[in-house]
């Protein structure tokens, strides 16, 4: 592997013009102590089993959250999650990349709880330069509370793909040529949190959180980031070269099989698409909806 030190400004310029086609760095998730900081929750977030397991919990006093120690500028991010079991109505577990700030970029998974036996709602969104309103929602074809499943974000200059167990749910392509902003210049950290949102999360707020079921616990393991990492050193950043990788995330896109899986998911499990919500956009749909 080669090492490429450079200034942050130089790195951003490089990625937005020619992009480092041969650069990637694998960040192992074998130890959550090394990868994440518990940022809030007064002990409700825990790293257990010698760093191999992370849990976040919510009770009627507080939720909890964590963030990655590193920032990423493009990459393939994977984490195994087991969502809150039982009656999780009113709770939201978020798993997202964000740059922070007023004009931030963000790539969101949010998991909206429900009554026992009812499906979770998987809420997705993409923000670019502070603008979101690109929501798509799905149900899943399995029980996400019974076991761990791998939730992934592929983010490169061409596309953003949301996947579960290597099955794509959603793709947001780079359509800058049509005037659609695309996240590409702001490094992002990975965040996750669990909190009470019973004013809107389950059936529009009709079903409230049953605090007799607390604590509500979400579990995380096997984090992996194959990505370009912005260094902790002021003004510096680095990528590593991995020429042996025959399917680098830098140029990865959906193949024919993945396209068919995406169509299957959207045909059978999509429950909301902003591009079909005419009442919300009386002046016309966002430009990407016509692509």
- Domain membership flag for residue 151: yes
- Domain membership flag for residue 60: yes
- Domain membership flag for residue 217: yes
Residues 11, 237: contact at Cβ < 8 Å? yes
- Domain membership flag for residue 3: no
The mean pLDDT of 134-160, rounded to a whole number, is 97
Total count of domains within the chain: 1
- Domain membership flag for residue 132: yes
Q: Residue 170: pLDDT above 80?
A: yes
pLDDT tens across 221-266, in order? Answer: 999 999 888 876 555 555 543 444 544 788 889 999 999 999 999 9
What per-residue confidence (pLDDT) applies to 83?
Answer: 98
- Domain membership flag for residue 16: no
Q: Residue 123: pLDDT above 90?
A: yes
Q: Residue 18: pLDDT above 70?
A: no
- Domain membership flag for residue 25: no
**68 half-sphere exposure, CB direction, 13 A CA radius:** 26
Return the number of other C-beta atoms located less than 10 Å from residue 280's C-beta: 11
SS3 of residue 258 by DSSP: helix
Given pLDDT bands bounded at 50, 70 and 90, which one contains residue 20? very low
- Domain membership flag for residue 19: no
Question: What residues make up the domain containing 240?
Answer: 32-289
**Rounded Cα distance, 270 and 254, in Å:** 19
What per-residue confidence (pLDDT) applies to 204?
Answer: 85
Residues 169, 123: contact at Cβ < 8 Å? no
pLDDT tens across 195-219, in order? Answer: 999 998 888 888 899 999 999 999 9
Residues 8, 235: contact at Cβ < 8 Å? yes
SS3 of residue 147 by DSSP: coil
pLDDT tens across 74-116, in order? Answer: 999 999 999 999 999 999 999 999 998 889 999 999 999 999 8
What per-residue confidence (pLDDT) applies to 100?
Answer: 83
Structure tokens at 187: 């490094």
Give the CATH number of the domain where residue 45 resides: 2.60.120.200
Higher pLDDT, 8 or 105: 105
**Rounded Cα distance, 155 and 252, in Å:** 9
What's the mean pLDDT when you consider all of the chain?
Answer: 87
pLDDT more than 70, % of the chain: 84
What per-residue confidence (pLDDT) applies to 167?
Answer: 98
For the ranges 16-20, 116-120, 229-233, which has the lowest average pLDDT? 16-20
What per-residue confidence (pLDDT) applies to 108?
Answer: 97
- Which sequence positions are flagged as catalytic? 106, 110
């Amino acid at each position: 592997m080669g090492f490429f030190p450079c200034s942050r400004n130089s790195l951003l310029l490089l990625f937005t013009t020619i992009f480092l086609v041969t650069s990637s760095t694998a960040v192992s998730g074998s130890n959550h102590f090394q990868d994440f900081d518990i940022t809030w929750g007064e002990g409700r977030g825990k790293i257990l089993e010698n760093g191999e397991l992370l849990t976040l919990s919510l009770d009627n006093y507080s939720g909890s959250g964590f963030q990655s120690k590193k920032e990423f500028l493009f990459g393939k991010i994977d984490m195994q999650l087991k969502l809150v079991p039982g009656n999780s109505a009113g709770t939201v577990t978020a798993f997202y990349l964000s740059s922070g700030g007023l004009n931030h970029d963000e790539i969101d998974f949010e998991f909206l709880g429900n009554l026992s036996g009812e499906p979770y709602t998987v809420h997705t969104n993409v923000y670019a330069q502070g603008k979101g309103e690109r929501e798509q929602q799905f149900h899943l074809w399995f029980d996400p509370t019974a076991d761990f499943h791998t939730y992934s974000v592929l983010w490169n200059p061409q596309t953003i793909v949301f996947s579960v167990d290597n099955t794509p749910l959603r793709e947001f392509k780079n359509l800058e040529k049509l005037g659609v902003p695309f996240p590409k210049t702001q490094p992002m950290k990975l965040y996750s949190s669990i909190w009470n949102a019973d004013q809107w999360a389950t059936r529009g707020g009709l079903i409230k959180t049953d605090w007799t079921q607390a604590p509500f616990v979400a579990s995380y393991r096997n984090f992996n980031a194959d990505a370009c990492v912005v260094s902790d050193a002021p003004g510096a950043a680095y990528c590593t070269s991995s020429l042996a990788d025959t399917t680098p995330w830098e140029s990865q896109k959906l193949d024919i099989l993945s396209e068919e899986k995406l169509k299957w998911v959207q045909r059978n499990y999509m429950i909301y698409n902003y591009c079909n919500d005419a009442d919300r956009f009386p002046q016309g749909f966002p430009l990407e909806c016509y692509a």
